[in-house]
Amino acid sequence: MPNFLYVYHGGRMPESKEEGARSMQAWTTWLDGLGEAVVDGGHPVGKSKTMHPGGRVTNDGGLSATSGYSMIKARDIDDAMSRTKGCPLLAVGGTVEVAEIMEMN
């Protein structure tokens, strides 16, 4: 089965320690529910910079700032998309971009 990258965009940070603990539990529950499909549960990411043609650097995180990632195995992209249902980021206004990781031989 091919690997797919989940790129998380947006959402919001927890506003309290209690909300952070609930958020972490929601992520753990969702990822555990994906079972052996999880290749790399991933991590949140910090603020990014963007390199533009000609060497210009901006501190804006690009057109759609990334907030984290995961990697899973799935039969195809439709299967990978269906597994995003229940992702905790969706409940806080974020989105999940799904892309197949192409093997280079």
What pLDDT sits at residue 31?
97
Tracing tokens 């249902």 back to the chain, one arrives at 85
The CATH code of domain 3-100 reads: 3.30.70.1060
Three-state DSSP class for 34? helix
Q: What confidence tens digit (pLDDT) does each residue in 17-63 have? A: 999 999 999 999 999 999 999 999 999 888 888 888 999 998 877 66
pTM: predicted TM-score of the whole model, two decimal places: 0.88
pLDDT level of residue 69 (50, 70, 90 thresholds): very high
Alpha-carbon gap, residue 10 to 94, rounded angstroms: 4
Sorted by where each begins, the domain ranges of the chain are 3-100
